[in-house]
Amino acid sequence: MSSPQKLGKTRNIGIIAHIDAGKTTITERILYYAGRVHKMGEVHDGEATMDWMEEERERGITITSAVTSVVWKGHTINIIDTPGHVDFTVEVERSLRVLDGAIGVFCAVGGVEPQSETVWHQADRYKVPKIAYINKMDRIGADFHRAVNMIKDRLRANPLILQLPWGSEDNFMGVIDLLKMRAVAWQAETLGAEFQEFPIPDELMEEASRYRESLIESLAEHDDAIMEKYVSESPIEIQDLKQSVRAATVALKGVPILCGAALRNKGIQPLLDGIADFLPSPVDVPPITGHNPETGNEESRPSRLKGPFSALAFKVIMDQGRKMTYLRIYSGSVKAGDTVFNPGKNVKEKLARLLRMHSNKRERIDDATSGDIVAAMGLKLTTTGDTLCSEDHPILLEPIPFNTPVITMAIEPKRIQDDSKLMDALGKLGEEDPTFRFKIDEETGQTVISGMGELHLEIIAERLKREFFVETNQGKPQVVYRETIQKKVEHEEVFQKELAGQQHFAGVRIALSPLPRGADNRFVDRCHNPNLTPEYLSAIREGIEESATSGVVMGYPVINVETVLLDAQIHETYSNEMGFRIAASMAFRNACQLAEPLILEPVMKTEILIPEEFMGEVIGDLNARQGKIEQITSRGPFQVLLATVPLSRMFGYSTALRSVSQGRGTFTMQFSHFDKV
């Protein structure tokens, strides 16, 4: 059983960044220097410990977030290495939801890239304190100060520069530590495991003193003790500065900036020190809040070992056909074999086994306590985002929000006898990944899978073959369209019919009006008929929601519509819930017909990085795809184009971009909004 001291020395952190910034390489170095592994795995050799899936090793990218833990100077650090590719942001979203701190990794050449911006803002939304690590200082074109300025401008963060690079590109020697005012260099022969401190070289002394001074000024704005010493010119101890940086980081008032070159094994130990010194323990962050499912009152669960048990299931994976659920425990403790309560589904579940994970390897443990991130076997009904708690003290924690899929593809098994096997496998993959959906199209009878992008669906098809031994044929990816209306209308519908020898009567009058793009559908009750019972009202709402799942133009779901119930006609003998459901559904459909319905398509926010000489061709190609260019900026020798483009025009774009830019252009895209076709 953990002690309160151990809780104060626990760090739950995630490594977040744009694809290729070096997250997995940094995690491998952390595992090596903390003694967790005895050989560093390299991503480019397909041997990274944290990229354990075959698909990850082949492509050299992280697809699924992996959990591990290390011990560093008496602190237990649980680390989640998250994907950088935009198709897998759900992995980042659910990891950030359960973490107390994060390391944002930035490439010293690229600076703040679009996906690093997305994940940083996800972390802001969950109020996660962060450290920024500027990696790849040894690369040609590395520019530490430009990267810091981009963090300040693009991410609206307050950088607290704790290290300056000592040299850059081929001459990158190490770092200048502004707290100790010493230069640090790593020894290549010990693979960076050993490093030495030197006096700061004379040519860097002036710059180092200037940056240390501005660091102290930044801290003095938030810290009265530092302010007093600064004004009275008393000496400021390193310990005082560390405490002040920690307080600013935990309060989200500053972001410590460190730098290095992970692939060259430089700068990792100070990053580990930074995690222990500046990022919060479970005790330092505000208690998690939720509401009591019985009373509806808001309750909080402080991170304590003695309190009632509460945990959030943030990830489900299928492991050799068995379901494994990752849990973040927020309060109390739990033992293997205990029965826990899932208030969202109102069921009891048994934790058959508890495991501490190291990537895909595991170690059985007897119990887990507040602040731990563990995996559990035996939870049959629990899915991603579910709360687990003790039955006597129920609490429902806020679930994890997920984006809706934007791309679909028809899929069928190559062998007809694999049909039920395919359905079973898709069901298991759907449990693992909340942004993946599948259904059988009623009109065509085809099985249709939906996801966040082409790569997402490609990997699903590969996993079907590799893990479930189902070979498939896939159709072309299709765009997921939506429908909406353009003008406000009022409509009245009366349903009066004899069904199975029984009369039914119900009348509803509704007003539909368009909402701005991106808004959810809304239902508003403005009916003053005193005979309208709560049961009738909920039947009307259900009828409208049901009708909104398929629109009147081409049967796509209807979005951005407000439905106002103005009046209801009720017959004391013949009115019932079924009648109101049918009347509401008919009223909604017929009102949509009158309200100038139109089809919407998903529009993607795209960022393209290209050498200047190819600008003309790339812009011409984007115009042909009906793209709107919103901004062009330069980043060193490259130009950055920000554009919005309909998803339907972006299939196969990576090949087109490679051919017009001689293979030198790169792009990322993510869903922005639905707009008129």
pLDDT digits (tens, 9 = 90+) for 215-231: 998 888 888 888 888 88
Cα–Cα dist 578/479, whole Å:
35
Q: Contact, 629 vs 643, CB < 8 A?
A: yes
Residue 40 DSSP one-character state? -
User: In the prediction, which pLDDT does 249 show?
Assistant: 93
Phi, psi for residue 237 in degrees, rounded to 5:
-70, 155
User: In the prediction, which pLDDT does 344 show?
Assistant: 86
- As a whole number of Å, the end-to-end CA separation of the chain is 59
Q: pLDDT (tens digit, 9 = 90+) per residue, 499-509?
A: 878 888 999 99
108-129: average pLDDT? 81
Phi-psi region of 233 (alpha: psi -120 to 50; beta: other; left: phi over 0): left
Helix (H) or strand (E) holding 474: strand 472-474
Query: How far apart, in Å, are the Cα atoms of 233 and each of 160, 245, 248, 561, 630?
Result: 21, 19, 22, 63, 50
What count of Cα atoms within 13 Å lies in the side-chain half-sphere of residue 340? 32
User: In the prediction, which pLDDT does 41 show?
Assistant: 52
Q: How confident is the model at residue 513 (pLDDT cuts 50, 70, 90)?
A: very high
51-73: average pLDDT? 60
The residue written with tokens 């001074």 in the block is 213
User: In the prediction, which pLDDT does 39 show?
Assistant: 58
Q: Which of 115-124, 190-199, 458-467 has the lowest mean pLDDT?
A: 115-124
Can you say how many angstroms the Cα of residue 584 is from the centroid of all Cα atoms in its chain? 37
Query: Pick from 94, 118, 90: which is nearest to 104 by CA?
Result: 118
Cα–Cα dist 356/252, whole Å:
30
Q: How confident is the model at residue 58 (pLDDT cuts 50, 70, 90)?
A: low
Q: Contact, 328 vs 78, CB < 8 A?
A: no
pLDDT at 600 over 60: yes
Query: Pick from 137, 139, 233: which is nearest to 185 by CA?
Result: 137
570-592: average pLDDT? 92
Q: Contact, 599 vs 483, CB < 8 A?
A: yes
Cα–Cα dist 620/611, whole Å:
15
User: In the chain, how long is the greatest CA-to-CA distance?
Assistant: 99
Give the start-end residues of each E strand in 73-136. 75-81, 101-107, 130-135
Q: Contact, 423 vs 375, CB < 8 A?
A: no
**How many Å is the Cα radius of gyration of the chain?**
28
DSSP class per residue in 539-585: HHHHHHHHHHTS-SSSSPPB-SEEEEEEEEE--TTT--HHHHHHHHH
Q: Which residues pair with 325 in a beta bridge?
A: 316, 376
Cα–Cα dist 677/670, whole Å:
18
Residue of 130 and 83 predicted with greater confidence? 130
pLDDT at 362 over 70: yes
Query: How far apart, in Å, are the Cα atoms of 15 and each of 80, 315, 378?
Result: 6, 17, 29
Cα–Cα dist 50/57, whole Å:
10
| Amino acid identity for residue 393 in this structure | H
User: In the prediction, which pLDDT does 86 show?
Assistant: 52
Q: Contact, 301 vs 288, CB < 8 A?
A: yes
Give the pair of three-digit tokens for residue 585: 């559904």
Q: Which of 130-134, 155-159, 645-649, 666-670 has the lowest mean pLDDT?
A: 666-670
Cα–Cα dist 434/508, whole Å:
36
Cα–Cα dist 666/577, whole Å:
56
Query: How far apart, in Å, are the Cα atoms of 129 and each of 12, 216, 281, 578?
Result: 11, 20, 11, 52
Can you say how many angstroms the Cα of residue 290 is from the centroid of all Cα atoms in its chain? 20
Can you say how many angstroms the Cα of residue 353 is from the centroid of all Cα atoms in its chain? 28
Write down the mean pLDDT value for the chain.
84
User: In the prediction, which pLDDT does 46 show?
Assistant: 47
Q: Contact, 593 vs 663, CB < 8 A?
A: no
- Does the predicted TM-score (pTM) go above 0.85? no
Query: How far apart, in Å, are the Cα atoms of 585 and each of 14, 484, 507, 548?
Result: 46, 16, 11, 8
Query: Pick from 453, 491, 473, 467: which is nearest to 593 by CA?
Result: 491
Residue 394 DSSP one-character state? -
User: In the prediction, which pLDDT does 636 show?
Assistant: 65
The residue written with tokens 């401008």 in the block is 153
